[in-house]
A and B are shown apart, each in its own frame.
Chain A
Amino acid sequence: MANVLDVVRRNQESLLQEWLEGIKGGIRRRDLIDDRELKSQAAEVLTMICDAPGEAALDNLNSPPWQPLKDLLASLSTTRAVQGFTPSETAMFILSLKGPIFGLALKLHKNDVDLLFSEITAVDDFIDKLALHTTDSYIHGRDQVIVRQQEEMLELSTPVVTLWDGIVALPLIGTLDSARTQIVMESLLQAIVQTNSRFAIIDITGVPTVDTLVAQHLLKTITAARLMGAECIISGIRPQIAQTIVHLGINLEDVITKAKLSDAFRLALERSGRSVTRNSKSNGPVLSGAREQ
């Protein structure tokens, strides 16, 4: 006895046309996807449904025969998330397949209401599950977009500033997870080379937690900077961070540390043969310019 899946297989061409018309009748994003691409995607999905091996049952979407179809839908949905489709637009793509298949089922079983009902229920359930899968993948795609944007922001938010000729500073702000620390430290090393600096100040005032991972990144950066002929000074170690570092057993003895960024800057100026003096003729505290000694 023919079941719906067989009829779908036999009517693949006409079904595709009806499906596409349904999609176009509903929410349509001509700005995001052109007709040709939409058609080729729909055709691909339909082929996967039709080509599913004989043992593929509609009531078990989690069985291996359906895996290629699920993978295809997942990648389509992820792409749609990136392209800017909404979740409902993405789900509608697959949900629009219901109507045409119901139509086929109706023709096939018009004399047997019970069978018609059970077939329609099975198809309905199957397509709902595909739609849910689509939505899950869409959300996953969105998450990836967010992660990527975060990464882009991280790169933007790591400004290495030149404080003086030959002195660069990197004010670290926020949570340092592994990825971010890596980017930040690399940009510092790059800046050292580009500006030909002999001193690099890493200010950690804005870092809430200094654990072994952060310390290790700091120490590696300091070592790398040394190899390039630059000395690093760590500033902004707050009292609670200092205590924690000691308890952790991290050895910063070989590292120059200063409580404040300004102290670190002064030290770097001194070490590079400059000094900061107050101009006695003026009233306010004026930096008379770092004078070469």
Chain B
Amino acid sequence: MTGIVNKTEMLPIKDSSDVVFVRQRVRVWTTQLKFSLVEQTKVVTAASELGRNTLEHGGGGELEISEVVDGIRKGLRLKFSDKGPGIPDIKLALSDGYTSKQGMGLGLGGSKRLMNEFEIESTPGQGTTITVTRWK
């Protein structure tokens, strides 16, 4: 992941009301960065998906929101981390329609399409960290 981190905010993700708050905070950050309405909606939606995955599949965790700068461009980076079961097969998890619960199986792959950069680090039994960035 490229870019210098400017400022950050940490948010807990422990229950579904935290996911609502995550969406609200991410929306505020995208507004401050003057993202267009379409970009805002994309980033907030990705945050909602990844936040809920952190809660539902990762058993809760946290989000680090940061503003990043790379040369003249600015962006928003979201790092979701949990100490849950991890993702045994990342390629499978990313494929559309795959769900280990009763979801639509679109959240992970969808978030990847909604953001510019997407990185999964996951160790089975230890947890998952997903870092995504959207550049302006």
Binding site for B on A (CB under 8 A): 175, 177-179, 208-213, 215-216, 239-241, 243-244, 247-250
Determine how close the nearest CB of chain A comes to the CB of B91; give it in whole angstroms. Answer: 16
Q: Which of B39-47, B70-78, B116-124 lines the interface with chain A?
A: B39-47
Is B19 an interface residue when CB atoms closer than 8 A count as contact?
yes
Determine how close the nearest CB of chain B comes to the CB of A111; give it in whole angstroms. Answer: 54
How many residues of B are in contact with the other chain, CB < 8 A?
25
- CB-defined contacts of B114 to chain A, threshold 8 Å: 244, 247-248
Determine how close the nearest CB of chain B comes to the CB of A213; give it in whole angstroms. Answer: 6
State the CA gap A212–B111 with chains docked (Å): 10
- CB-defined contacts of A179 to chain B, threshold 8 Å: 16
Whether B38 lies near A243 (C-beta < 8 A) is: yes
State the CA gap A177–B16 with chains docked (Å): 7
- CB-defined contacts of B45 to chain A, threshold 8 Å: 209-211, 244, 248
Minimal Cβ-Cβ distance residue in A for B48: A211
State the CA gap A243–B39 with chains docked (Å): 10
Could you list 14 examples of A-B contacts with CB < 8 Å? A177-B20, A179-B16, A209-B48, A210-B45, A211-B45, A213-B52, A213-B103, A215-B104, A216-B103, A244-B41, A247-B42, A248-B113, A250-B104, A250-B106
Chain A interface main SS type: helix
- CB-defined contacts of A215 to chain B, threshold 8 Å: 104
Is B58 an interface residue when CB atoms closer than 8 A count as contact?
no
- CB-defined contacts of A250 to chain B, threshold 8 Å: 104, 106, 110
State the CA gap A208–B44 with chains docked (Å): 9
Given contacts A177-B16, A248-B110, A249-B110, contact A212 B49 (CB under 8 A): yes
Complex partner residue of B42 from A177, A208, A213, A243, CB under 8 angstroms: A243
State the CA gap A179–B19 with chains docked (Å): 13
Which 8 pairs, one residue from A and one from B, show the smallest C-beta to C-beta distance? A248-B110, A240-B41, A211-B48, A240-B38, A247-B113, A212-B104, A244-B45, A249-B106
Given contacts A244-B114, A250-B104, contact A211 B41 (CB under 8 A): no
| Further contacts, 14 of them, CB under 8 A, given A175-B20, A213-B52, A216-B103 | A177-B17, A209-B45, A209-B48, A210-B45, A212-B107, A212-B110, A239-B38, A244-B42, A247-B110, A247-B113, A248-B49, A248-B113, A249-B106, A250-B104
